[in-house]
Amino acid sequence: MQDCLGAIPVCQPIYSTTQSYTGHGNVYPEIHDNGVCPLCMDGEINDVFYTFTVQSSGLLRFALTPNNPNNDYDWELFNMTHATCAELYNKASSLTVSCNSYGTYGVNGPTGINSSLSNGLNCNGPGNNNGPAFNKDLNVLQGETYLLNISNWSTTNQSGYTLDFTASTALIFDSIPPFIDSIQQTVTCAGLSTLYVRFSENVICSDIENHPEVFTLTAPVGNYTITGLSSPDCDVGGSQTSYCILHISPPMSAGNFSLNVVGPIHDLCNNKMQYLGYPFSLTEINAPYVNAGDDTTVNNGVFITLHGSATGGTGPLSWHWEPSSLLIDPNVQEPITVNLGATTTFTLSVTDSIGCQAISGVTVTVLGSPLSMTSSASPDTICLGQASQLQAIASGGNGNYTYTWSSNPPGFSCSIPNPIVSPVITTTYSVQINDGFNTVNGNITVNVFPFDSVKLSIVASQLNICAGTPVTFTATPTNPGTNPIYSWKVNGIISGTNLPSYTYTPLNGDVIICILTSSLTVCVINNPATSNPITMTVHPVLPVNLLVATSQNPVCSGTIVTFTATPANPGTSPIYQWKVNDTVTGSNSTILSYVPLNGDQVTCVLTSSEQCASGNPASGNPITMTVNNILPVSIIVNVSSILSVPAHPLQILLFL
């Protein structure tokens, strides 16, 4: 009811409702909302559709009276005799025959069609412009079908209305059964498997949709079965339609037929179609003759224009080429191909206006291979300041090549196939080759490395050593690579192993060097590199000895005795430590003087200051002192004997 396809049939002079409709239908929009005549409506606002077919010609009048005088009803009338609901919105301007949206806030009263209440126009409104609320009488003819849309512009107080057609002189209340108005009359050269049937007025969808049994098809020759029945109006949910499509098996050719109504079909006012046969004839229309042109040969990668032609058929003709993917526009008579890379047969299909079709083919033979290229740089890795030759080799296509070189970072351009470049940093060169039809691209990267100097320094764990001391020499390389070779030499003679360190026991004056051969092969200078030389100072190992002697032993008690230490290899700053009975005494001197006691044991320990010494510190030989007590001496002289001797000096010798 709120869609065109569900319009309420006008089967009586007066319609009354106490509740008008709200919102709009499922198909939206069907009414324009521009509010300018001849389309004066403000869209679909609480609207409903009515439909009727004129039974006898005359004047159409009606009055739409709201139950609530404050309700403002608008309406628009369409002549749908030669149109479908699907065309209503897009063809509204040509289908509208009368429209009134006059009204304002407050009491507006009835509206409709009646010349005695009008201003002589078929369109009034919107609002209080271009009044009044009635349009002039409308002259309608028998067989015409109309669609009336009523919209309640008032969004509240949906109180209904009365729709009264009694003032009309035309008869619009349907009491005549529907009948078949027309049947398709042409057949294509391929036969006809669907048959278009149009009724004299709208019929109820539920009577025919999916009910092919309401018809039979007979012919003088051959048996035909109606396998299906459909109607686009019904398919989208409509309740009524003015036509249907019959699906026929086998396809029909030209000849005479009869379509027979054998089942119930009703119009919108429930008038039943009579069970009758409707004879009709199908006339075959010849198909066009088509020519896709002459076979041709082209080079790989070029495009050409195909030349199709056709005669006969019923114009206008439609053109279609396959494979469409190889054409700029496959739906023209003379299409342009894309750049062709393989032999292709193009098929031209020409279809005339009634569906007859003819086909022709043309073969385009493609010679050669597609445009391609290989690119290289020789060498692709250089050292700073060196050069590399770029090379772009094209093949295939039509053989006429142009070259465009560029670079990243920017700054290089060239148009020859093999330029020489000397980049200062790693650079990617791009080349584009064109043969006039196709383009291929390639990229080449030239890696640029600065020169790296190979260096080597060595250090020793000790430089000034004693004979027999092992020394470790460690190499510190610069740019050695991942697999360097270390060659150690002592006095020019290879020694050691391929390691960054070398340990041995040097001799005095040995000169040690190391030669580094870097595994780097690109942009390397000073390879192999010789280290700094190291000359070893090796001191001999000197034995340290100490001999201790006394000035006298034994001695008498109270005698001062001097002990003298005679060293071997004492160095320049020796240390002497004297002890008497293990008690340190004396000073750091080779001489010790003191008054010993009997049994004193005197020792001396020498700590040599020599860098390389053995037996250091050295203990001297111990000396044990013998000290005798002093004895008293007495002399007895026999004087008598002396007196008898001649007078001589007296000499006495005392030996202790």
Q: What's the pLDDT tens digit per position in 258-309?
A: 999 999 999 888 999 999 999 999 987 777 889 999 999 988 888 999 999 9
Q: For 362, which DSSP code?
A: E
Local confidence band at 644 (pLDDT 50, 70, 90 cut-offs): very low
Residue 10 carries which side chain, given as an amino acid letter?
A: V
- For residue 158, being part of any structural domain is answered with yes
Question: What is the spatial distance between Cα 351 and Cα 320, in angstroms, rounded to a whole number?
Answer: 8
CATH number reported for the structural domain that contains residue 413 in this entry: 2.60.40.10
∠ CA 598-602-605, rounded to 5°: 175
Mean pLDDT along residues 159-183:
91
Q: Say what the alpha-carbon torsion angle 389, 393, 399, 404 is, to the nearest 10 degrees.
A: -50
Give the per-residue pLDDT at 73: 87
> For residue 470, how many C-alpha atoms fall within 13 Å in the half-sphere facing its CB?
5
Query: CATH code at 14?
Result: 2.60.120.380
Task: Tell me the per-residue pLDDT of 39-98, one tens digit each, with 9 for 90 and over.
Answer: 888 788 888 999 999 989 999 999 999 988 888 888 999 999 999 888 988 998 899 999
Determine, yes or no, domain membership for 217: yes
Domain final position from 445, 471, 496: 445
- Are 153 and 102 in a shared domain? yes
- Partners of residue 383 on adjacent β-strands: 449
Q: How far apart are CA 205 and CA 196, in angstroms?
A: 16
- Alpha carbon distance 258, 180 (integer Å): 12
Q: DSSP 3-state assignment of 87?
A: helix
The dihedral formed by the CA atoms of 580, 585, 586 and 592, expressed in degrees to the nearest 10? 0
Predicted pLDDT of residue 642: 47
Same domain, 8 and 150: yes
**pTM for this prediction:** 0.40
432 and 499 assigned to the same domain: no
* Whole-number pLDDT of residue 222: 85
Domain boundary among the residues 284, 306, 326 is at 284
Q: How many CA atoms lie within 13 A of 6 on its CB side?
A: 14
Regarding whether 14 and 145 lie in a shared domain, the answer is yes
Q: Please report whether residue 169 resides in a domain.
A: no
| Structural domain ending residue among the three candidates 404, 429, 445 | 445
Quote the mean pLDDT of the chain: 89
Here the tokens at position 7 are 């319009």
Question: How many structural domains compose the chain?
Answer: 6
Looking at the fold, whether 28 and 110 belong to one and the same domain comes out as yes
**553 and 474: one domain?**
no
Structure confidence by residue, pLDDT tens digits, 248-259: 999 998 899 999
Whether residue 118 is predicted with pLDDT greater than 90 in this model: the reply is yes
> Which letter does DSSP use for residue 253 in this model?
-
Domain match, 308 and 382 both: no
Assigned domain for 207 exists: yes
Residue 637 lies in a domain: no
- Closest residue by Cα to residue 120 from 110, 135, 132: 135
Q: For the segment 432-453, what is each residue's pLDDT rounded down to a tens digit? A: 999 888 899 999 999 998 888 9
pLDDT classification of 652: cutoffs 50, 70, 90:
low
- Residue 634: the pLDDT is 65
Residues 533 and 551 in one domain: no
Average pLDDT over residues 192-197: 92
Give the domain range for residue 160.
Answer: 4-164
Query: Which backbone phi and psi does 325 adopt, to 5 degrees?
Result: -65, -15
131 & 270 share domain: no
The count of other CB atoms within 10 Å of the CB of residue 72 is 25
Residues 337 and 188 in one domain: no
User: What integer pLDDT is reported at residue 42 of this predicted model?
Assistant: 79
pLDDT of residue 486 exceeding 90, the answer is yes
Residues 574 and 602 both lie in one domain = yes
Give the model's pLDDT for residue 104: 72
pLDDT in tens, 346-387: 999 998 887 778 899 999 998 888 888 999 999 998 998 889
Q: What is the pLDDT of residues 573-593, one digit of tens each?
A: 999 999 999 999 989 999 999
The encoded tokens of residue 574 equal: 């020796």
In terms of Cβ atoms closer than 10 Å to its own Cβ (0-12, 13-18, 19+), residue 96 is buried
Q: How far apart are CA 213 and CA 261, in angstroms?
A: 9
In 3D, which of 504, 512, 501, 502 has the Cα closest to residue 536? 512
d(CA 643, CA 645): 5
Q: Is residue 123 located within the same domain as residue 213? A: no
pLDDT at 11: 87
Looking up tokens 């073969």 gives 363
Q: Kindly write down the DSSP assignment for every residue of 424-491, as one continuous string.
A: SS-EEEEEEEE-SS-EEEEEEEEEEE--EE-EEEEEES-SEEETT--EEEEEEEES--SS-EEEEEET
Amino acid at 9: P
What letter would DSSP give residue 553? S
CA 76/CA 47 separation, integer angstroms:
11
Tokens 């047969």 sit on residue: 345
pLDDT of residue 546: 93
State how far Cα 651 lies from the chain centre: 138
In a domain, 643, yes or no: no
Among residues 541, 549, 546, 540, the alpha carbon closest in space to that of 618 is found at 546
* Tens digits of residue pLDDT in 304-326: 999 999 988 878 999 999 999 99
The token duo for 222 is 């051959």
Higher pLDDT residue, 125 or 197? 197
> Quick one: pLDDT at residue 655?
47
Residue 584 is assigned to a structural domain of this protein: yes
Report whether 261 contacts 180 (CB < 8 A): yes
Q: Which of 478, 476, 515, 460 is nearest to 493 (CA)?
A: 515
Residue 389 within any structural domain of the chain = yes
